[in-house]
């Protein structure tokens, strides 16, 4: 738990979030500022700065996050297409430095991303 981390505060229940899923390892909730009609965040309970902080010991955790993200995308009716995104570092657009997987969909998207 990192005191200043907004996602650690959501995990602790100190600030509210629209929770979609939680278990001992991960949580999923709606993004507060959605970039698409469906915009879900999947995060680990364990505070990690971002993808670059992952180690071999986290393989099952990151696998679980991706599997849950895709399951939630299907549950949200996005079988036709959705995007799973992890930003690492400010240049990539990361603004919250607690590892998270974006699940985006419900509109057509362009590539490459901006």
Number of H helices, E strands in the chain: 2, 5
Distance CA 1, CA 40 (A): 22
The partner in contact with residue 96, picked from Zn ion, ligand 5GP, none with C-beta cut-offs of 5 to 8 angstroms by kind, is ligand 5GP
Distance between CA 29 and CA 113 in Å, rounded? 23
Q: Based on the shown chain and the rule CB under 6 A, indicate whether residue 6 belongs to the binding site for ligand 5GP.
A: yes
Using CB under 6 A as the criterion, which residues of the chain lie in contact with ligand 5GP when the complex forms? 6, 17, 29, 31-33, 41, 87, 93-96
Using CB under 5 A as the criterion, which residues of the chain lie in contact with Zn ion when the complex forms? 2, 5, 7-8, 47, 98
């Amino acid at each position: 738990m990192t005191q200043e981390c907004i996602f650690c505060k959501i995990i602790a229940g100190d600030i509210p979030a629209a929770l979609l899923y939680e278990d001992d390892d991960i949580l999923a909730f709606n993004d507060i500022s959605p970039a698409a009609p469906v915009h879900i965040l999947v995060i680990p309970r364990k505070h990690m700065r971002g993808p670059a902080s992952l180690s071999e010991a986290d393989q099952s955790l990151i696998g679980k996050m991706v599997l849950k993200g895709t399951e939630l995308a299907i549950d949200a009716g996005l079988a036709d297409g959705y995007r799973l995104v992890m930003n690492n570092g400010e240049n990539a657009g990361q603004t919250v430095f607690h590892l998270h997987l974006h699940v985006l969909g419900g509109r057509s998207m362009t590539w490459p991303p901006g």
